[in-house]
Structure 1
């Protein structure tokens, strides 16, 4: 719903392209910025705003020395059909509207309902220590998206739930299909600069806050608002 609302506000005069991966950007002075696409073609633009996340290609061009630093723990996420809770055989057969928090040594998990295409679903976000057998690369930002969870990582999560969670909630989270589970190492990052020449960074490309602060989306919207305000006040790219 959020994406649709934002997408519908983009004027028809704006070319909106999906599925075009940008592999490199290079500022070329008065000629603007060259944007290289995955297919090999290079396009020229007057200004490039890098709102391309914590693995930003634009940030690599603007300040290559600024790199995300691993924070020492990972985030597991998943969701499943809320109707499955009825089969757990417990008096605690539902997730309260306000959600549930499970805390354990070295981590925590929040569990709450979300709307789904076929009815309510249960979403959960778990912060804890990573596997210690090299299953995750922690020297460079990476993640295992939904559908990419390996059997070894699934086994690590199952063992964590069995060891640290109350039995009911361990069984509840185990209802999550591997295709609906992913894991993401947590990183911190603050860039040395967010703008130079015809390049500008916004959102997680400019700075990364840990997801349990629940401020990343607000930060990105504030950046976009500041850019729009600056654009109205300035008469040139240099002033912006």
Structure 2
């Protein structure tokens, strides 16, 4: 990649060359492009995590199926947000009884206590940049399910209880520093 006062030029691995007034790189929380272009800008923890999962439709009660499953739903406990919606099941199956319910539960978590605990597996290994889904501690999952029973709508609490593979991601944001590639120093 090169740039001048008006344009940025990007040469791809296949040799092709692109030129534009602006380069937008959207390659995730640990992006290779940002590491090359602006290594001084590092993501910062945003103060909350996102529990995620998909629940098999066939596991759910008639009550949850009738009142929530077919909808894009929200649940808004104080300072939190739960949302979910139906998605195709295995093999892209959209037949009733074969679908899944996808959800995300945004929850605040203090950086130096709760987050450290959540990013530590059952063997005491700490994963500072994000814990692999299968390493999330069963104690943390059990606690999360208990909290769900206490504060979420019963349909969402049931979905969390019946989801086999729960995982979470810390929410990150880039530092609030201005990054303008075409700007001269």
Q: Output the TM-score relative to the length of structure 1.
A: 0.52
Q: Whose RCO is larger (CA < 8 A, sep 6+)?
A: 2
The partner residue of 2:154 within 167, 172, 175 is 167
Q: Secondary structure at the match of 1:77?
A: strand
**Partners of 1:129 and 1:183 in 2: how far apart?**
12
- Alignment gaps of 5+ in structure 2: 3-8, 120-126
- Once the two structures are superposed, the pairs formed by residues 146-157 of structure 1 within 5 Å of their partners are 146-157=133-144
Aligned residues: CA RMSD = 3.4
- Alignment gaps of 5+ in structure 1: 1-25, 34-42, 197-240
The partner residue of 1:193 within 160, 163, 179 is 179
Instruction: Indicate yes or no: 2:113 matched with 1:135.
Output: no
The partner residue of 1:184 within 169, 173, 180 is 169
Residues 124 and 82 of structure 1, relative CA distance in 2, 3 Å threshold: same
- Once the two structures are superposed, the pairs formed by residues 46-85 of structure 1 within 5 Å of their partners are 51-85=26-60
Instruction: Indicate yes or no: 2:100 matched with 1:121.
Output: yes
Moved over 6 A (4+): 43-49
The partner residue of 2:84 within 89, 111, 114 is 111
Q: Deviations over 1:10-63 (max 9, x none)?
A: xxxxxxxxxxxxxxxx99xxxx99xxxxxxxxx896879854312112212211
Q: Deviations over 1:137-192 (max 9, x none)?
A: 6xx973334433222321232122122123343122211113xx221111222564
Residues 74 and 183 of structure 1 are in contact (CA less than 8 Å); yes or no, is this contact kept in structure 2? yes
Q: Secondary structure at the match of 1:72?
A: strand
Residues 86 and 101 of structure 2 are in contact (CA less than 8 Å); yes or no, is this contact kept in structure 1? yes
**Partners of 1:69 and 1:47 in 2: how far apart?**
33
Query: What is the total number of aligned residue pairs between the two structures?
Result: 152
Q: Deviations over 1:54-104 (max 9, x none)?
A: 21122122111211121111111100111111xx3x534333433221111
The partner residue of 1:93 within 54, 65, 68 is 65
Residues 76 and 82 of structure 2 are in contact (CA less than 8 Å); yes or no, is this contact kept in structure 1? yes
Q: Secondary structure at the match of 1:147?
A: helix
Residues 115 and 121 of structure 1 are in contact (CA less than 8 Å); yes or no, is this contact kept in structure 2? yes
Name the counterpart of 1:22: none
